[in-house]
């Protein structure tokens, strides 16, 4: 092999850096982190509202079943807030010496983590809350001859709301998973 062959080999070598703009990727990752922080802040604010409202209702409950249901909702809400604090935060660390490929993979992993969090919402979010709401609705069920229409309407609204939350989170999980897959495809 002569010098011209080595030069041609060197010039023809593929660059290890993916065709992804580092600044653009950093901007996308920062926007994603802000979106997750905003979501978490809204969830924690809603948690405070739920804890105060259902805690007050537990104190003034007319029946012990209503009281237990309200306290179960309060407990579930505290559990959801703690779980979100522990599992729901995301940070893609930027090391100045980090290459673009490593950074893109770290961002894709963060997207995957959030996707898994959203996909499991029925377990860690809706499941505990539905137990409390079920007991609460049972405690408020009219058994003294009052019409059931209003109660059934509230129960239906709660069920529709929970199903909507599950659907939206499942859709969000799929979107994040697809975005992570797309990012990894850009690396190849």
Q: Are 47 and 77 in contact (CB under 8 A)?
A: yes
Q: Are 141 and 151 in contact (CB under 8 A)?
A: yes
First-to-last CA distance in the chain? 30
Domain count, the chain: 1
Write out the residue range of the structural domain in which residue 32 sits.
20-187
1 lies in some domain: no
pLDDT band at 86 (very low <50, low <70, confident <90, very high): very high
143 lies in some domain: yes
Instruction: Give the residue with greater pLDDT, 132 vs 25.
Output: 132
14 lies in some domain: no
8 lies in some domain: no
Does 60 have pLDDT greater than 90?
A: yes
Q: What are the backbone angles phi and psi of residue 19, rounded to the nearest 5°?
A: -80, 50
pLDDT band at 5 (very low <50, low <70, confident <90, very high): low
5 lies in some domain: no
139 lies in some domain: yes
Pairwise CA distance, residues 45 & 26, whole Å? 28
161 lies in some domain: yes
Does 131 have pLDDT greater than 70?
A: yes
| C-alpha Rg value of the chain to the nearest Å | 25
126 lies in some domain: yes
């Amino acid at each position: 092999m002569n010098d011209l062959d080595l030069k041609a080999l060197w010039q023809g070598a593929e660059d290890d850096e993916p065709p992804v703009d580092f600044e653009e990727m950093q901007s996308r990752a920062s926007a994603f982190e802000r979106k997750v922080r905003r979501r978490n802040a809204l969830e924690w604010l809603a948690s405070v509202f739920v804890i105060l409202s259902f805690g007050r209702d537990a104190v003034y409950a007319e029946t012990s079943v209503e009281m237990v249901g309200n306290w179960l909702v309060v407990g579930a809400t505290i559990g959801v807030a703690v779980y979100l604090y522990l599992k729901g935060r995301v940070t893609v660390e930027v090391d100045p010496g980090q290459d673009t490929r490593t950074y893109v993979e770290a961002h894709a992993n963060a997207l995957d983590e959030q996707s898994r969090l959203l996909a499991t919402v029925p377990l860690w979010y809706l499941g505990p809350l539905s137990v409390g709401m079920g007991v609460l609705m049972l405690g408020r069920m009219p058994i003294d001859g009052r019409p059931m229409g209003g109660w059934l309407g509230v129960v239906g609204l709660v069920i529709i709301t929970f199903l909507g939350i599950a659907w939206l989170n499942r859709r969000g999980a799929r979107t994040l998973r697809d975005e992570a897959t797309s990012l990894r495809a850009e690396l190849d």
